[in-house]
Amino acid sequence: PVKIVTIGGGSSYTPELMEGFIKRYQDLPIREIWLVDIEDGKEKLEIVGALAQRMWDASPYDVKVHLTLDRREALKDADFVTTQFRVGLLDARIKDERIPLLHGMLGQETNGAGGIFKAFRTIPVIGQIIEDMKELCPNAWLINFTNPSGMVTEAAIKHFGWERCIGLCNVPTISMMAEPRLLGKDLSELTYRFAGLNHFHWHKVYDRDGKDLTPELIDHINEAGGGTPVNIYQAPFPLELLHSMNLLPCGYHRYYYQKQAMLDHALEEFRQGGTRAEQVKQTEKELFELYKNPQLHEKPVQLSKRGGAYYSDAACECIRAIYSNSRTHMVVSTRNNGAISCLDDDSIVEVSSLISATGAQPLAWGPMPSAEKGWLQMMKAMEECTIQAALTGDYGLALEAFVLNPLVENNAETQRVLDELLVAHEKYLPQF
Ligand code: NAD
Ligand code: G6P
Ligand code: MN
């Protein structure tokens, strides 16, 4: 029987996770689930934790959900540790999104200056979690969902030395749900190949005869239901660009390929209803009101308003595939090991992989066309710089990460944005 520990258990996504485990119980016999949070998240933990227990009680399975603020108590002898925490909660994300916008730059949870600061706050904490895991559950798998998922996973594996770590995102899952519908086919009839970085990958799709369906899907990409998560504004992609590449970009590529349209839209929202983080705070409040209802014992449909919907299809499926050694195709953040030839072997990349008891085995993509090679090398350099700054608290490296980031404008405001964010987040940045 399996022991699961979820750090950041007070997240509104926890019912997703429970649903995913209940669905897979026959293949993944769980004995106990420990939801870990901190003092600031205690109330959320108690509300969503009670719903989690009700979900299991309404299922045919006998699983106990433990709630604790003591991470070490929970980690003891864990088999799988999943992470879904947010250092500083949504108030910190509001600052990440508002401050750059006030200076005319895109503020976004995982991209631009906001994403860099989320990494600065999160990487030291993942380091502390791994310190505890080395002592208390040295054989456990760490399934990281905490954003920026690619950089946090790279820090966990490369810098804190936790090899048994896989990083996840729901974006590839959503594509693989939406696109078969657009094609009028079943997922099992298609072959998918993804490669790139988290929130910066491309993919291709083939049918059973090996015919490339990428051009057909490009023609559908600007339609509703095209596979973009709900948190991203769907500025239309220029189809000529995509057809020349003959690659399907991920939803987050809009911030790079359609930078001005995305900035204009973010400013518009900022003036009207507030940034995405402020909207999400309202959604979260509504969700927790629903969760309090003792009659509720399933995941409410309103959770689909969050961009991370279908998260459990990635997280629970990955754990199931490791546990049952099933060699299932999944798109995960893992060590490159040559899969993308223009990036270092030890870089963490988000690629099609086979998931088994030994973890993720990335499938070779091979060389990238020169445009994508250029993007990837720059974005990886920016990520490495961000991670080094997060580890050392070096101001110059933080500034270099800013200068390298295509969504941080390099002008008289650049350093002001950096300084304002450093002050705003001081409480969560002891290393600076
Ligand atoms: P949230 O604001 O609800 O935070 C989740 C919980 O983490 C909170 O209850 C909070 O108290 C707790 N927490 C904060 N610091 C902690 C610490 N040091 N130890 C333990 N718990 C701590 O966040 P959310 O909106 O549910 O998102 C959770 C995380 O998952 C975020 O990092 C978010 O970016 C990420 N996410 C990732 C994806 C993906 O595709 N990888 C999708 C959605 C969300
Ligand atoms: C997306 C992503 C996540 C992101 C989230 C935001 O789909 O894959 O990495 O953090 O959803 O959703 P939210 O509802 O919080 O804006
Ligand atoms: Mn994601």
Is residue 308 in contact with ligand 2, taking CB distance under 6 Å?
yes
Q: Which tokens go with 157? A: 């594996």
Q: How far is the CA of 155 from the centre of ligand 3 (A)?
A: 17
Q: Which residue among 11, 69, 151 has the greatest number of ligand 1 atoms within 8 angstroms of its CB, and so is best to mutate?
A: 11
- Position of tokens 């008891």? 357
pTM, 2 dp? 0.98
Is residue 280 in contact with ligand 2, taking CB distance under 6 Å?
yes
| Minimum CA distance residue for ligand 1 atom 41 | 169
Backbone phi and psi for residue 67, each to the nearest 5 degrees, phi listed first: -115, 135
Backbone phi and psi for residue 243, each to the nearest 5 degrees, phi listed first: -65, -35
Cα–Cα distance, 15 to 32 (Å, whole number): 15
Cα–Cα distance, 109 to 120 (Å, whole number): 13
Is residue 24 in contact with ligand 2, taking CB distance under 6 Å?
no
- Listed in sequence order, the residues at least 6 apart from 64 whose beta carbon sits closer than 8 Å to its beta carbon are 31, 32, 33, 53, 56
Q: How far is the CA of 12 from the centre of ligand 1 (A)?
A: 9
Torsion of Cα atoms, 340 then 344 then 350 then 356, to 10°: 90
Beta bridge partners of 196: 201
Is residue 49 in contact with ligand 2, taking CB distance under 6 Å?
no
Contacts 24+ apart (CB under 8 A), 23-30: 23/316, 24/316, 24/317, 24/320, 25/59, 25/61, 27/320, 27/323, 27/324, 28/2, 28/316, 28/319, 28/320, 28/323, 28/324, 29/1, 29/2, 30/1, 30/2, 30/3, 30/4, 30/61, 30/63
- Listed in sequence order, the residues at least 6 apart from 293 whose beta carbon sits closer than 8 Å to its beta carbon are none
Cα–Cα distance, 242 to 94 (Å, whole number): 33
Residue type, 377: Q
The ranges of the chain with pLDDT < 70 are none
Is residue 229 in contact with ligand 2, taking CB distance under 6 Å?
yes
Q: Which atom of ligand 1 is nearest to the CA of 168?
A: 41
Q: Which atom of ligand 2 is nearest to the CA of 277?
A: 16
Q: Which residue among 86, 123, 286 has the greatest number of ligand 1 atoms within 8 angstroms of its CB, and so is best to mutate?
A: 86
Q: Which tokens go with 118? A: 């989320």
Three-state SS sequence of the chain: CEEEEEECCCCCCHHHHHHHHHHCCCCCCEEEEEEECCHHHHHHHHHHHHHHHHHHHCCCCCCEEEEECCHHHHHCCCCEEEECCCCCHHHHHHHHHHHHHHCCCCECCCCHHHHHHHHHHHHHHHHHHHHHHHHHCCCCEEEECCCCHHHHHHHHHHHCCCCCEEECCCHHHHHHHHHHHHHCCCHHHCEEEEEEECCEEEEEEECCCCCECHHHHHHHCCCCCCCCCCCCCCCCCCHHHHHHHCCEECHHHHHHHCHHHHHHHHHHHHHHCCCHHHHHHHHHHHHHHHHCCCCCCCCCHHHHHCCCCCHHHHHHHHHHHHHCCCCEEEEEEEECCCCECCCCCCCEEEEEEEEECCEEEECCCECCCHHHHHHHHHHHHHHHHHHHHHHHCCHHHHHHHHHHCCCCCCCCCHHHHHHHHHHHCHHHCCCC
For 166-204, write each residue's pLDDT tens digit: 999 999 999 999 999 999 999 999 999 999 999 999 999
Q: How many CA atoms lie within 13 A of 353 on its CB side?
A: 30
Beta bridge partners of 166: 143
- Cβ–Cβ under 8 Å, residues 72 and 79: no
- Cβ–Cβ under 8 Å, residues 245 and 218: no
- Cβ–Cβ under 8 Å, residues 86 and 281: no
For 271-301, write each residue's pLDDT tens digit: 898 999 999 999 999 999 999 999 999 999 9
- Cβ–Cβ under 8 Å, residues 29 and 66: no
Cα–Cα distance, 35 to 21 (Å, whole number): 14
256 is catalytic: no
Check residue 310 and give its pLDDT.
Answer: 86
Q: Which tokens go with 113? A: 């200056």
What's the complex ipTM?
0.99
Check residue 304 and give its pLDDT.
Answer: 87
Is residue 168 in contact with ligand 1, taking CB distance under 6 Å?
yes
Cα–Cα distance, 72 to 418 (Å, whole number): 34
